[in-house]
Structure 1
Amino acid sequence: MATPQDWAPYSSITDAAKVYLRDPELALEQLRAVVDLPEVTSFIMSRGSTDEQWGEALWQEVVLTDGRRLVMWRADDGLSSEGDRERRMLDVSVRTIVLSTISDHVLTAEYEVLEDGTRRLSDVTLRLYTQLLTRTRQKSATESDLYCESFRYHKSVDHGGLAQMQRLLQFGRVLSRCLA
């Protein structure tokens, strides 16, 4: 698979998708169905690949906010079996979460301290915790553990580079202002 161009220099989600995603038209069509793209206040993108028995599988993700919702588009290459016939598939989903369901938001930046005392951004992680229950586990007759859905987004020097780390910081800060 060809190495994509970096999406981070683009302020337009349309332009960024066209240079970064393998399936930009599909992503943009499905995102337009749930959000007016000019209303997007911030976005991030990720992609990666794995080696499968049938070849290289790609996953692609766009996460955006319009100030009211978190919208996530994801596409995963896969394999489907029908009888004794296998077919390559693209599994695509769009998920929308109202920002008011986010109960906790943690934006972490790590800086490497250089010998001359200056700092260089080396790692950014955004964690979002929701009020949406994914499962429970009964501990006793009167107590249960509740597990809520969470999301984690990560960029580093080796995974995305400086521009994508800065965009993840920007995305996290936009979300923080929207959650207030």
Structure 2
Amino acid sequence: MTEAVFPDWAPFKELDAAARAYLRDPEVALDCLNSALAGAQILGFTLERFVNEYNGVWQEVVVCDGSRLLLWHGEDTAPGEGPAGSMISSLRVVPLSAVTEIGCRRRLIRTATGHRVDAVDVYLLLSSVEEATDGPGVRHDALRFGKTLTDGGVAQIGRLEEFAELLAGLIGRPLL
């Protein structure tokens, strides 16, 4: 897999500016999300982008409007799965009422002055279930988001932690 360094989106507090700074296809993502948001206020968001195993770009935007998570995903098609230069754009909308658990795992590094966060991994368990692929039974559907010092840096780690805190404050409470 090819290593890639993308511009930092963390300094931007507005989704439009962050997406335009970070995503390869911001217009596709913003058009899709704005259509689904239908004027709803964005309370928080997180972005992800990386180069996949066939040197294509994988992009994701996750937005919270206070009652839903809107997940836009864009990914280049694999060679032979479509015309050259094609991509898949998809949108998933998950009501916050479907989130049954949220967790945030932080990897810390000991330093001479204490600890610093090296990585953060956030997961959301959903009330929906999917068939287990590794044997009989079912498993909870889950959403995972992660950032490390080498994949995003300190500012994006902080923004993902803020997003997790926002969601944690909304989960399990009556929705307005």
TM over 0.5: yes
Is the aligned partner of 1:106 residue 2:98? no
Q: When you count strand as a share of all residues, which structure comes out higher?
A: 1
- Helix, strand or coil at the partner of 1:107: strand
Deviation string 1:97-142 (CA, Å, 9 cap, x unpaired) is: 00101111101222211134x21111111011111111168x9xxx
Which runs of 5 or more residues in structure 2 are unaligned?
Answer: none
Is the aligned partner of 1:32 residue 2:34? yes
Q: Across the two proteins, how many residue pairs are aligned to each other?
A: 169
Give the alignment partner of residue 94 of structure 2, picking from 86, 94, 97. Answer: 97
- Helix, strand or coil at the partner of 1:173: helix
- Listed as ranges, the matches of 1:1-180 within 5 Å are 3-36=5-38, 39-52=41-54, 56-79=55-78, 81=80, 86-116=83-113, 118-135=114-131, 145-180=137-172
Q: In the superposition, relative to structure 1, how do residues 20 and 74 fare at CA in structure 2: closer, same or farther (>3 Å)? A: same
TM-score, structure 2 as length reference: 0.87
Deviation string 1:50-93 (CA, Å, 9 cap, x unpaired) is: 352xxx300110011011001100000014758xx853311000
Please identify, of 169-178 and 2-11, the stretch whose mean Cα deviation from structure 2 is larger: 2-11
Q: Which has the larger radius of gyration?
A: 1
Distance in 1 separating the partners of 2:25 and 2:47: 13
> Cα RMSD between the aligned structures?
2.3
Deviation string 1:10-50 (CA, Å, 9 cap, x unpaired) is: 00000000110011111111100011466111100000113
| Matched-pair identity in % | 28
Preserved contact between residue 59 and residue 77 of structure 1 (Cα < 8 Å): yes
Which runs of 5 or more residues in structure 1 are unaligned?
Answer: none
